[in-house]
Amino acid sequence: MKAAFLAIACLLTLSTFAAPPILREAGAIYLDDFGVKAVRLAAVSDATVYSLLNQGRYLGVIGKGRPVELLAVSEKGLRVRGMAQQGQVSGWVDAATVTPLKPEFIESLRANAKRKAEVDALIAKNEVGLNMTYDEVSASLGKAQKKTSKLDAGGRKETWEFVRYTRVPQQTTGYDRSGRLVESTVWVKVPSGKLVVTFENNLVTGLEQTEGTTDVQAPVRVIPAPIIVLN
């Protein structure tokens, strides 16, 4: 019993001192959204670190010559992680205080951020567009009912099949608590069609609606392919 109380006290202590979630700055581009490998930079002068882009809370100073890891990019500054005089900190610094970023690196980040916004909009509507990845299709449609795969000299080709459902009203008759006969409407989920998604080398290259899909289909969206980000 004593051990159980100690374990609970330990958990409460850890939760009390857990780091608060990062407050994301509007308009900033965060590298972890795109799986970008760590970008190593260095402070070219003493870099004052703040919790927010508009300075916010003072966190410390990363001395000239010290390495930093780039976390996010904004027109107003850079979010980095590094060792300050006060210990390791993560926050925003003036871009002029660290190694300059290549213009093509910043442009590729912006292109990927724009692409992510388009993909997120499709996922919110459970839709799929050309050039979406495996993970993005799974996030939008869930688990495929059937998958097939083929590998040849041209690369890997896969097809995923998803059953589409619709809800239709159905009248039922029953008795209420007073014994009176009443009618009610229930909505039943029934298959309405099938969507076949074709992938080549991890990107969607084809979409096919089959088996009873009678709704007017929206034009197929073409999403830009992900861009490899290198600095």
pLDDT tens for the chain, residues 1 to 231: 444 444 444 444 434 434 455 678 988 999 988 877 889 999 999 999 999 998 789 999 999 999 999 999 999 999 999 999 889 999 999 999 999 999 999 999 999 999 999 999 999 998 999 999 999 999 999 999 999 998 888 788 999 999 877 777 877 887 778 878 888 887 777 667 889 999 998 899 999 987 654 444 556 788 888 877 666
The CB density around residue 200, as the number of other CB atoms within 10 Å, is 14
Whether 219 is covered by a domain: the verdict is no
Q: How far is CA 35 from CA 11, 41, 59, in A?
A: 31, 18, 26
Which residues on neighbouring strands pair with residue 210, listed in sequence order?
194
85 with 135, same domain: the answer is no
97 with 110, same domain: the answer is no
The CB density around residue 127, as the number of other CB atoms within 10 Å, is 16
Residue-number span of the structural domain to which 19 is assigned: 2-101
Q: Locate tokens 């096919």: which residue?
A: 208
State the Cα–Cα distance between residues 144 and 90, nearest whole angstrom.
40
The total of structural domains in the chain comes to 2
- Determine contact, residues 71/30, Cβ cutoff 8 Å: yes
- Last residue of a domain, which of 67, 101, 135? 101
State the Cα–Cα distance between residues 71 and 40, nearest whole angstrom.
10
State the Cα–Cα distance between residues 125 and 140, nearest whole angstrom.
8
123 with 82, same domain: the answer is no
Helical (H) or strand (E) element with 162: strand 155-175
Predicted pLDDT of residue 123: 95
State the Cα–Cα distance between residues 192 and 212, nearest whole angstrom.
6
112 with 205, same domain: the answer is yes
Half-sphere exposure (CA, 13 Å, Cβ side) for 157? 8
96 with 133, same domain: the answer is no
Which two tokens mark 127? 């839709």
Predicted pLDDT of residue 8: 41
- Last residue of a domain, which of 50, 82, 101? 101
Whether 217 is covered by a domain: the verdict is no
Q: How far is CA 61 from CA 41, 66, 71, 75, 207, in A?
A: 15, 10, 17, 21, 53
Buried b (16+ CB within 10 A) or exposed e, 89-98: bbbbbebebb
What is the signed CA dihedral for 174, 176, 182, 186, rounded to 10 degrees?
-60
Radius of gyration of the chain (CA): 26
Whether 220 is covered by a domain: the verdict is no
CATH code for the domain in which residue 137 is found: 3.30.1450
On whether the pTM is more than 0.75, the answer is: no
Whether 226 is covered by a domain: the verdict is no
